[in-house]
Structure 1
């Protein structure tokens, strides 16, 4: 490792081309870079969804959006866009690039772009010898030898060039204006912040990571009856119909689906005593702002559980776990379908009792 050369780097490009949650799980490693390279600036190169997090992450100074053709979620585009990005990177004269990937991804396409852009230092995990494409690389050992949490994986990567931090929490700064809006929203919904209320987020980008809608319906009904507390549903505009189906006209179940931008969603999550959600971006936002989570965790991969926050991770173990598929290849969806609403309610009660006065929990 060329650790001494990295100590001179000031303009750092961090590449994370996945989704919002993946970017958030890379923020402790970005903090390590900022703290270990005094006076440095960090530019994030990410997809549109990942880049949306940047304005809320104080460790990120600038952002470049890019639809990388080697990423699963990318739409088709002309090759001219790729050449234009290389030219843009060259003009920015970065001193170093850190490429963050999960172990099933290759860093080499991004490494080649950085090489062509003249970025002198390039770091990533790599399964094969990258020769000149990476100046510094850490041999890929996952999943054959170990499987680490995604946050730990990226912290280990930057530690290889001497970047470390004592604060390993996810980073997300809620704007004061959004926090004020969220408090006003709760007042409008007649929700008392000091008493139990729960956010439910039933959506997820991949069908394989969605708890069945009929379970959500039973869960919402039974939670409301058991705790006599308000429920607030969140989701994007496309999930609004699903939320309406789940809440079924329940008077104390409120829908904010399609009405929240990222800052307002984070503000509400930061005020909530508890969030119940699938393995999706809001779970990582909740972890970043310190809100306890019941995570309905499809066993598509083992690396993205809530990080450094009180949580209960619920799943049904299955032989086909860690499939890394967006759609259940077996068609049975057992890893989530066999998690009963009763288990979810028990986990919710357990977390609430640890974080709110017990006398306020159960309905009289």
Structure 2
């Protein structure tokens, strides 16, 4: 329930991928700084991801009728505390799919979003989209267009981590006997770029050699990655069932994070962790991790070898 009297609610549909959600954080903060009370709709994992920001997140149902029912209820509650809610643009959709705009239109919301996927007619205002800018800049520019301002995005995301999240992370590390100075690896990469797998093909060899050197290597597999982590990375210290907020704390505690093009890499960059991102076909101008502590090793179609990355990691750790 929306409780703040005199609030100016804004319903925001989040993207479906962790990396995109992280890169949208500065845009969300910008909206909040301009007086909007954010009510986010997205995947279940977004609740913990944004817990430290204090924004409520509604989990988006799978069926259309349930999604529309959810948005109508949220709209009714917003109108109750803000009589002007229905008289102004009151929703923003970050995803580019037509379904995001359709849900909002059927719920009676006055939504704004980028003009793509043939959905402009569903929107109160459709904004032109520059496909060549970085994803963080794309979400930022959409918020700027909604607000009618022009500002440059921040150089760092500075994801908040709560004391409770740090405490949970420290308890996990202590329980497993993991000492300060560990390397956290993020070897899984969902999806492809231009139909090419984004996974560094020598990640398994790299982790085996790094562990053999005496370095503590930590991996936090997602729900669909547990079996792969157990079979492919047996020498790594696995922390399973970690929520994204606590994952942020584990990333921040690491001496170094080594990652593919994957959501946790963007999380690492966002919390300011030292990140070595090993990339192949990923277009850096759109998807490079955003932050001052990011180092990228990119070579394609001949990727960097395990020895080359290991040598760089040992230099970083020395």
Range into which the TM-score falls when normalised by the shorter chain: 0.7 to 0.9
Q: How many residues align?
A: 297
Could you say which residue in structure 1 is the equivalent of 2:184? 199
Q: 2:58 aligns with which of 47, 64, 83?
A: 64
CA distance in 2, matches of 1:131, 1:20: 26
Taking structure 1 as the reference length, the TM-score comes to 0.71
Secondary structure of the structure 1 residue equivalent to 2:185: strand
Is 1:343–2:314 an aligned residue pair?
no
Could you say which residue in structure 1 is the equivalent of 2:143? 158
Could you say which residue in structure 1 is the equivalent of 2:242? 260
Higher relative contact order (CA 8 A, sep 6+): 2
Taking structure 2 as the reference length, the TM-score comes to 0.80
CA distance in 2, matches of 1:219, 1:259: 24
Deviation at 1:168, TM superposition (A): 5.3
Unaligned 5+ runs, structure 2: 1-5, 80-84
Is 1:22–2:20 an aligned residue pair?
yes
Could you say which residue in structure 1 is the equivalent of 2:173? 186
Could you say which residue in structure 1 is the equivalent of 2:271? 289
Contact persistence 2:68–2:104 (CA under 8 A): no
Could you say which residue in structure 2 is the equivalent of 1:223? 210
CA distance in 2, matches of 1:261, 1:131: 36
CA distance in 2, matches of 1:286, 1:266: 7
CA distance in 1, matches of 2:153, 2:12: 20
Contact persistence 1:276–1:295 (CA under 8 A): yes
Is 1:100–2:94 an aligned residue pair?
yes
Matches within 5 A, 1:1-364: 10-35=8-33, 37-38=34-35, 40-58=36-54, 60=55, 62-67=56-61, 77=63, 79-91=64-76, 92-93=78-79, 94=85, 96-101=90-95, 105-106=96-97, 108-120=98-110, 122-127=111-116, 133-142=122-131, 147-160=132-145, 161-162=148-149, 164=151, 167=154, 169-170=156-157, 172-193=159-180, 196-206=181-191, 208-212=197-201, 215-226=202-213, 228-248=214-234, 250=235, 253-256=236-239, 258-299=240-281, 302=284, 303-318=286-301, 338-350=303-315, 352=316, 361=318
CA distance in 1, matches of 2:100, 2:125: 14
CA distance in 2, matches of 1:33, 1:191: 39
Superposition RMSD on alpha carbons, in Å? 3.0
